[in-house]
Amino acid sequence: MANCFPFRGKKRKKLDSTIKFNEDIDSWKTVIFLYNSALKEVNTKLEILNDEFQHVHQYNPIEYFKSRIKTPESIVKKLKRYGYESSIDNMVNYVNDIAGIRIVCSFTSDIYRIAEMIGKQNDLTVVSVKDYIKNPKENGYKSYHMLVTVPIFLTDQVVDTKVEIQIRTIAMDFWASLEHKIYYKFEGNAPEYISRELKDCADIVSMLDARMLRLNEAIIQAKKENRDAEARRRSMQQAGS
Ligand code: GTP
Ligand code: MG
């Protein structure tokens, strides 16, 4: 498959070797340029996938998605938390979510559909997956995370650049935004009753997602039965005339 790629002959690099030699403001700009380019690539892919799905199935699995580049402050904070000094090499190697995309969809089934569509993209490499839906975090957090790399084609080289993709339902997103605010408000040390309440809400969110999914399946089934009944009625009418 690799032979089909148009970048044959160009040097293919990981991001850190591109910036190793001149670690200064220019390399910072280069890195951010690469992450921005990676976001553009993945954004376009998602738009095309969603449009194609709409075209074929008359249905949008993606409600909306948004992307962001991590702020320098958050990058430094994360490196500190991981015990690394702040350098461009370290940020490229150890901070996986400098470029991040969050995809929000209606139903849990959409999450796996979208993840599968992303996984099938030949030029994306799925580096790792964390399924916090099958294995929720202790606080109740649910979401499907994929770390992918996307090749960025420069004039004389191709650089594989990391993007973290989070896929979740609207209800999971609602919960996660509130939890995030509370986490920051209490700097990670929320009172026990608040953590318990949040976990209860996470259980309600899971129940709601399951019910909405069942309801949607029932609607699809009812629509299909209507269509079938209509088709039978028409063919009986034609046979009778
Ligand atoms: P960090 O937690 O980001 O240091 O990296 P990690 O390697 O543990 O990755 P993980 O996949 O667990 O989390 C990455 C991202 O998912 C975070 O930056 C958040 O955006 C989101 N996330 C993970 N856990 C939680 C959580 O408990 N609550 C909320 N609100 N968001 C979470
Ligand atoms: Mg984490």
Ligand 1 contact, 180 CB (< 6 A): yes
How many domains are contained in the chain? 1
Query: What gap in Å lies between CA 164 and CA 166, rounded to an integer?
Result: 7
Q: Is 173 in the pocket of ligand 1 (CB under 6 A)?
A: no
For a mutational test of ligand 1's pocket, the pick from 76, 103, 145, i.e. the residue with the most ligand atoms closer than 8 A to its C-beta, is 145
Question: pLDDT per residue over 175-185, tens digit each?
Answer: 999 999 998 88
Residue 2 is assigned to a structural domain of this protein: no
Any domain includes 24: yes
pLDDT digits (tens, 9 = 90+) for 57-110: 888 999 999 999 999 999 999 999 999 999 999 999 999 999 999 999 999 999
Q: Which ligand is nearest to the CA of 132?
A: 1
Query: Given pLDDT bands bounded at 50, 70 and 90, which one contains residue 3?
Result: very low
Residues 113, 67, 80: CA angle, nearest 5 degrees: 110
Q: Is residue 240 part of a domain?
A: no
Residue 66: closest CA among 168, 185, 178 = 168
**Which residues on neighbouring strands pair with residue 128, listed in sequence order?**
147
* CB neighbour class for 19 (10 Å; exposed up to 12, middle 13-18, buried from 19): buried
How far, in whole angstroms, is CA 129 from its chain's centroid?
Answer: 10
Residue 72 lies in a domain: yes
**CA dist., res. 124 & res. 129, Å (int):** 13
Q: Is 71 helix (H, G, I), strand (E, B) or coil?
A: coil
- How many Å apart are CA 145 and CA 119, to the nearest integer? 12
Nearest CA, atom 24, ligand 1: 141
Is there a domain that residue 123 lies in?
A: yes
Give tens-digit pLDDT for 187-229: 888 899 999 999 999 999 999 999 999 999 999 999 999 999 9
- Give the number of other Cβ atoms within 10 Å of residue 62's Cβ: 21
CA atoms within 13 A on the CB side of 122: 5
Query: 108 C-alpha vs ligand 1 centroid, how far in Å?
Result: 19
Q: Which residues are catalytic?
A: 164
Alpha-helical (H) ranges within the chain are: 15-19, 25-57, 72-82, 88-94, 108-119, 170-185, 192-240
Nearest ligand, measured from the Cα of 138: 1
Tokens (6 digits) for 146: 């994929």
Domain of 67: which CATH number? 3.30.460.10
What DSSP designation does 4 have? G
Which pLDDT belongs to residue 6?
Answer: 34
DSSP bridge pairs for 125: 149
Indicate whether 23 belongs to any domain. Answer: yes
Nearest to 76 by CA among 66, 87, 67, 89: 87
Structure tokens at 211: 């019910």
Residue 217 lies in a domain: no
Q: Tell me the residue range of the domain where 98 lies.
A: 11-171
**What is the band of 240 on the pLDDT scale with cuts at 50, 70, 90?**
confident
Whether 164 maps to a domain, the answer reads: yes
Q: Encoding tokens for residue 156?
A: 């004389």
